[in-house]
Structures are given as C-alpha cells and as structure tokens.
C-alpha cells in the first residue's frame, strides 16, 4: 500500500517534469516566448545546474568553495573550441561531455591537495585556482586571449537545457539519499566524528568536489552553446559569488532552495532591467532584506515536497481542519 503510493508519487514527479517540458517547448514553438525570455530561461537552467552542484560541495559536504566559475569556464571553452571546429549536434555533445570530464579532472586534481584545508583557507585556495584557470584562458592562443571566442554556433536549446538541468537535480538528489551522500553530509556535520566512524573524509570531499566540477562543466558547455560568445572575464570571481549567492539565498543544504532561488533571482533581475540605473542597488538591497528575514535562506536545509504544499494548503483553508 505504502509502496504503491510511493510509486505513484514518483510517477507524478515524472509527469510534472514532462508537463513542464512540453508546455515550454510549445510556447517556444508558437513564439509566445520571445528571444529575451528564452535567454532568461537558459540562464535560469544553467544557474540551477551551477547552484545545485555548488550546494553539493558547500551546503551538503560543508566545503566552502569560491572556484565554481573556474570549472564552468573549462566546460565552456572546451565545448566552444570543439563546436567551432565541428559545428554539429555530435560536436556539441562531444564538446559538452569532454568539457564536463575535463572540469571534473581538474576538480579532482585540485581537490586532492586543497581539500585538506579548512574554511577560509579552502575558500582562498579555490578562489586562487579559478583565477589561475582564468589567466590560462587569457593567455592561450586557442582561446583567443582577452578578446575571447565568438561566432560559436548555437546548439543549446530548451531540450538540452531541460534534460541536463533535470538530470543534474535528479542524480544529485539520488546521490544525497544514498549512503555515499550521507557520508558527505556527515563530513559537514563533524569531520572528526565522521572519520572516527569509518568515513574517509578526504575521499568524500574530493568526490563531492569532482561531481560538482563535472556539473559546472556541463553548465559551462550549455552556456557556450547558447550565447555565441565567450571571454575570460565572464568567469571571474564575481561569477563564483553569483552562484554562491543563489546557494545561500535558497538555503545551504536544500536542492529545491537552490532551484527556487535561481528562478527568483533571474526574475528579479529581469524585472529590474527597466531601471538600469538602480538595478544593482535594488538587487543588493533585496538580497540584504531577504537575508535579514531568512538568514537560513528561503528553504533552510529543508526540501520542498508535495506534503509541504498540501500542508500549506491546509493552513490556508481552516475549514478543512476538522476533516482529518
């Protein structure tokens, strides 16, 4: 009985996913969603992938990283370089995959020595790493230095954005509900106790870091395949901060929080386009206000669930209270 219900709920999840996909696809098809809105949607999807994967590293495993933009840039440049030479769907997918693998490889190699550091030290080390990556791209011939790469053919569409975004969320949430995910979370809770209970803390920190870098590489590749143009300054320190803001705002340790925050921030900044002078001031002000009233982020460390929504509904409809 309970099992049947569970299966039904997970069916509903798949149905919701399919539904979202089809609706947006349809609206794009009939041109209700214009180019500008499409770019916003692309940004949201890419930011969700970035935030969810950074949340795995920072929110769930407790490793403060400021290097996510670096991993993203590896994915972006790799995919762009391949796409410029092989402008086809095959080229795009090969670029995306190799970008993600390369980012994961760098994540692994950087993580191994730096994840011994704690807190502020780790933040500075990851920041340094991402700056080094940026400077490498700035000086390489194949990336065309500061001028960057342009004329990258567009292959990223709603289908790929959706598949990779949903895939990232599903796989990472599955991972977190596995024993390996619990091992990561125990490292955040108390590294010494975790070690004493048989958890190889370094291994799980590096694992989270590598998975996170892989996903950031995918996000970068999607970015390259959408926006035609790449330059190193896009992936600076501020980009890493932007991603961290989404994670903190949504709630450290809440995947649905990251998703909500990515959507909310994109909507806010779209809305603020109408006030170009005050844009950054209003944006910052809103962040400050939200953090004052919800210091734990929108979701804290809780996840949005159907149960929560129905619970909310019940509270809003007092007449049904007696009906339990």
Partner 1 sequence: MAILNINKLTKSFGGLTAVSNVTMELREGELVGLIGPNGAGKTTVFNLLSGLYVPSSGEILLNTGGKTIAVQGKNPHVICKSGIGRTFQNIRLFRDLTVMDNVRIAMHHNVKYGLLSGFLHLPSYRREEGRLKEESMELLELMDLGDKAGELAKNLPYGEQRHLEIARALATKPDLLLLDEPAAGMNPAETTQLTKLIQWIRERFRLTILLIEHDMSLVMRICERIYVLDHGMLIAEGTPEEIRANKRVIEAYLGEDVTDA
**Of the candidates 271, 253, 250, the residue with the CA atom closest to the CA atom of residue 262:** 250
At closest approach, how far in Å is the CB of 77 from partner 1?
26
Residue bearing tokens 């390996």: 180
Considering the complex, state which of residue 194 and residue 230 has its C-beta at the smaller distance from partner 1: 194
* Shortest reach from residue 179's CB to partner 1, in Å: 4
Closer CB to partner 1, residue 157 or residue 202?
202
- Residue number, 21 or 175, with CB nearest to partner 1: 175
Identify any residues that bridge with 149 across adjacent strands, giving them in sequence order: 230
Check if the beta carbon of residue 170 is closer than 8 Å to that of residue 16: no
CB of 33 to partner 1, least distance (A): 32
The minimum distance between CB 121 and partner 1, in angstroms, equals 20
Q: Which residues contact 217 (CB under 8 A, 6 or more apart)?
A: 71, 72, 74, 75, 78, 99, 100, 101, 102, 103, 104
Q: Do the beta carbons of residue 249 and residue 55 sit within 8 Å? A: no
Q: Which residues of the chain form contacts with partner 1 (CB under 8 A)?
A: 171, 174-175, 178-183, 185-186, 189-190, 192-201, 207, 301
By C-beta, is 294 or 320 nearer to partner 1?
Answer: 294
Measured CA to CA, the distance from residue 141 to residue 273 in angstroms comes to 36
Interacting residues of 169 by C-beta distance below 8 A, sequence separation 6+: 48, 52, 255, 259
Q: Quick one: 90 or 167, whose CB is closer to partner 1?
A: 167
CB of 271 to partner 1, least distance (A): 35
Nearer CB in complex with partner 1: 178/310:
178
- Smallest CA-to-CA distance from 60 within 212, 164, 219 is with 212
The least CB distance from residue 13 to partner 1, in Å, is: 13
3-state class percentages of the chain: helix first, strand second, coil last, to nearest 5: 80, 0, 20
What is the closest distance, in whole angstroms, from the C-beta atom of residue 115 to partner 1 in the complex?
14
Contact 222, 42 (CB under 8 A): yes
Which residue's CB is nearer to partner 1, number 150 or number 174? Answer: 174
* Closest CA relative to residue 238, chosen from 130, 129, 107, 99: 130
């Amino acid at each position: 009985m309970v099992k049947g219900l569970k299966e039904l709920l997970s069916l509903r999840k798949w149905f919701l996913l399919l539904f979202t996909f089809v609706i947006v696809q349809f609206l794009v098809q009939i041109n209700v969603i214009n180019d500008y809105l499409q770019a916003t949607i692309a940004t949201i999807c890419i930011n969700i992938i970035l935030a969810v994967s950074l949340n795995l590293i920072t929110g769930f495993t407790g490793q403060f990283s400021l290097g996510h933009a670096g991993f993203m840039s590896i994915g972006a440049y790799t995919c762009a370089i391949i796409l410029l030479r092989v402008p086809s769907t095959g080229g795009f997918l090969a670029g995306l995959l190799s970008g993600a693998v390369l980012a994961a490889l760098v994540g692994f190699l950087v993580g191994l020595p730096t994840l011994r550091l704690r807190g502020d030290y780790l933040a500075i080390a990851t920041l340094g790493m991402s700056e080094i990556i940026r400077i490498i791209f700035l000086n390489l011939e194949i990336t065309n230095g500061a001028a960057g790469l342009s004329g990258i053919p567009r292959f990223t569409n709603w289908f790929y954005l959706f598949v990779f975004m949903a895939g990232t969320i599903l796989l990472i949430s599955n991972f977190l509900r596995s024993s390996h995910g619990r091992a990561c979370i125990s490292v955040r809770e108390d590294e010494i106790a975790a070690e004493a209970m048989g958890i190889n803390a370094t291994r799980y920190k590096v694992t989270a870091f590598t998975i996170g870098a892989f996903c950031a590489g995918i996000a970068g590749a999607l970015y390259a395949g959408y926006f035609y143009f790449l330059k190193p300054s896009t992936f600076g320190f501020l980009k890493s901060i932007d991603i961290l803001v989404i994670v903190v705002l949504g709630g450290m340790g809440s995947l649905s929080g990251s998703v909500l925050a990515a959507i909310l921030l994109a909507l806010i900044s779209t809305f603020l386009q109408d006030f170009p002078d005050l844009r950054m001031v209003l944006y910052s002000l809103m962040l400050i206000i939200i953090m004052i009233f919800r210091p734990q982020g929108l979701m804290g460390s809780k996840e949005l669930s159907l149960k929560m929504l129905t619970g909310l509904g019940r509270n809003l409809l007092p007449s049904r209270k007696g009906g339990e």
